[in-house]
């Protein structure tokens, strides 16, 4: 099949590359000529393990190409995917659909023959109907259908998620559109991965409901962690105990400094806004947003307490700045709340992150960046484990303690056991939802 992918951000690029690996002819479109030039040169503008090799293989097979010419890419396409950004709109928390609707107008002007226009961007309920209205108004004679095909890609594991998904959601209005989408995803259908076909509105809602539920699960265990600290329980044992219940499951039950990233913050905010607009307040989601913000502030208090009640004049080494491991994504990362608060309190902050420096230097002014954990820890008064990269999971704790002016750790991902830190010479430790020492 011939596929046009409008947008080469995280979702568009990963999806376009993976569709080409299915054997389809894919053209990825972006209005930014610098990004297209980078892609044409074989350079991937985002960090996603394995994406560079997969892209190179399919470009070499002449199934994948990049262009700024939307009209050329859309002409004759069987399916055109809209995969542009839907950031949180300033002022009201709603999803900003400016780029989606602009893409719809541009697509309308370029349609030739029957085409399924597929929204892959995360959009509020009713957006696909509006996309159809925009196209019909701009091109009354166009032969097209719209479809909703939300993505469920985890950054750092996106290729595996695309190739071996838990499910594929396809919202359509006609059998004709359903048949095209079945052909698009035929390699997955033949391997018995679930393809769930719904109406447009249900597909749109599934995406928001899924992300809101996962954000709720994270926030729930973080709130339980706070209570564990008060009563002397260990949140890791609690999470294991409840996660073995098949009705609950063990995923997304890792206590930490709050959720971040490109999806959960904006999607919970948008869902709360949708509920308000329809006089059906999403009270649980609104509470999740509030508690998640409080969790991040509680982490700042933990670090301050670790440093004796003030970070003023302290040197603090921060391990990890991205919102999760195996990505360079800094969007709504806990570091964007925690690091500025430490600097504002008078601390000297050194950061080390395998992929976060490129974006992080501009987003975290006042911090300095180190090449590795040991150089970051040299002469430091405290270490903060903020993102659990594999590189940080097996550190030489004795060496680390020996380099520090005062061997203290705030392990906000519960990577290390208190007993191991104590044995290595650390004088103080605080985790999340578990007992510390030296405080």
Ligand-binding site membership of 91 (annotated) = no
Catalytic residue check, 28: no
**Residue bearing tokens 């004088």:** 427
DSSP E strands in 32-179: the ranges are: 64-67, 79-82, 115-119, 144-148, 168-172
Q: Which residues contact 389 (CB under 8 A, 6 or more apart)?
A: 319, 320, 325, 326, 353, 354
Would you say 86 is a known binding-site residue? Answer: yes
b vs e for 373-390, b when ≥16 Cβ sit within 10 Å of the residue's Cβ?
bbebbbebbbbbbbbbbe
Q: Which of 380, 370, 378 is nearest to 314 (CA)?
A: 380
Is 236 marked as a binding-site residue? no
Which residue of the set 18, 28, 228, 263 is catalytic? 263
b/e map of 124-144 (b: 16 or more CB within 10 Å)?
A: bbebbebbbebbeeebeebeb
Contact present, 60 and 21 (Cβ < 8 Å)? no
* Residue 278 annotated as lining a ligand binding site: no
Q: Where are the alpha helices (DSSP H) in 152-247?
A: 158-163, 175-184, 186-190, 200-231, 235-243
CA atoms within 13 A on the CB side of 115: 29
To the question of whether residue 337 is assigned a binding role by annotation, the answer is: no
The span from the CA of 434 to the CA of 418, in Å, is 9
- Max Cα-Cα span within the chain: 75
Contact 351, 361 (CB under 8 A): no
In three-state secondary structure terms, 386 is coil
35 annotated to bind ligand:
yes
C-alpha to C-alpha distance for 381 and 427, rounded to whole angstroms: 11
Q: Does the annotation place 137 within a ligand binding site?
A: no
Residue 230 labeled ligand binder: no
On whether 155 is known to bind a ligand per the annotation, the reply is yes
Query: Is 255 marked within a binding site?
Result: yes
Relative orientation angle of helices 335-344 and 283-306, to the nearest 10 degrees: 40
Nearest-CA neighbor of 126 among 203, 36, 32, 47?
Answer: 203
Within 10 Å of residue 101's Cβ, how many Cβ atoms? Answer: 16
266 marked ligand binding residue:
yes
Q: Which tokens sit at 111?
A: 């349609």
User: Which class for 321: exposed (0-12), middle (13-18), buried (19 or more C-beta within 10 A)?
Assistant: buried
How far apart CA 218 and CA 410 sit, in angstroms, is: 20
CA distance 262 to 289: 15
Query: Is there a binding annotation on residue 260?
Result: yes
331 annotated as a binding-site residue: yes
Q: Tell me if 254 is assigned to a ligand binding site.
A: yes
Give the active site residues. Answer: 263
> Which amino acids are annotated as binding site for substrate, given as ranges?
152-155, 207, 252-256, 260, 324
Q: Which residues are annotated as a binding site?
A: 30, 35, 86, 122, 152-155, 207, 252-256, 260, 266, 324, 331
Binding-site members for NAD(+) are 30, 35, 86, 122, 155, 266, 331
């Amino acid at each position: 099949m011939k596929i046009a992918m409008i947008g080469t951000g995280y979702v568009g690029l990963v999806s376009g590359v993976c569709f080409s690996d299915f054997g389809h002819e894919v053209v990825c479109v972006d209005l930014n000529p610098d990004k297209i030039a980078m892609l044409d040169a074989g350079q991937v503008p985002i960090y996603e393990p394995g994406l560079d090799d997969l892209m190179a293989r399919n470009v070499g097979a002449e199934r994948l190409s990049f262009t700024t010419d939307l009209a050329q890419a859309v002409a004759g396409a069987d399916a055109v995917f809209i995969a542009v950004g839907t950031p949180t709109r300033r002022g009201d928390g709603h999803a900003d659909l400016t780029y989606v609707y602009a893409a719809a107008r541009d697509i309308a002007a370029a349609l030739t023959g029957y085409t399924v226009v597929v929204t892959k961007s995360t959009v509020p309920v009713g957006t696909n109907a509006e996309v159809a209205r925009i196209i019909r108004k701009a091109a009354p004679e166009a032969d097209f259908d719209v479809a909703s095909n939300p993505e469920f890609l985890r950054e750092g594991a996106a290729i595996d998620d695309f190739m071996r998904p838990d499910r594929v959601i396809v919202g359509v209005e006609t059998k004709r559109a359903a048949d095209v989408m079945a052909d698009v995803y035929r390699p997955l259908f033949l391997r018995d991965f679930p393809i769930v076909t719904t109406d447009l509105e249900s597909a749109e809602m599934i995406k928001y409901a899924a992300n809101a539920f996962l954000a709720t699960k994270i926030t729930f265990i973080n709130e339980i962690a706070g209570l564990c600290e008060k009563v002397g329980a260990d949140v890791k044992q609690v999470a294991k105990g409840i996660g073995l219940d098949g009705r609950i499951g063990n995923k997304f039950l890792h206590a930490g400094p709050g959720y971040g990233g490109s999806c959960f913050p904006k999607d919970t905010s948008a869902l709360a806004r949708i509920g308000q607009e329809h006089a059906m307040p999403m009270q649980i989601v609104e509470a999740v947003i509030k508690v998640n913000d409080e969790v991040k502030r509680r982490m700042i208090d933990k670090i301050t307490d670790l440093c004796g009640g003030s970070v003023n004049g302290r040197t603090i080494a921060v391990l990890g700045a991205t919102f999760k491991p195996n990505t360079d994504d800094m969007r709504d990362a806990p570091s964007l709340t925690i690091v500025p608060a430490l600097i504002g309190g008078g601390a000297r902050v050194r950061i080390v992150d395998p992929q976060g420096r490129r974006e992080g230097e501009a987003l975290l002014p006042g911090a300095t960046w180190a090449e590795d954990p040991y150089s970051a820890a040299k002469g430091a008064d405290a270490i903060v484990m903020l993102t659990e990269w594999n590189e940080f999971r097996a550190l030489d704790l004795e060496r680390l303690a020996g380099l520090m002016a005062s061997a203290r750790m705030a392990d906000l991902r519960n990577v290390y056991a208190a007993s191991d830190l104590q044995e290595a010479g650390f004088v103080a430790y605080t985790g999340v939802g578990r007992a510390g020492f030296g405080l």
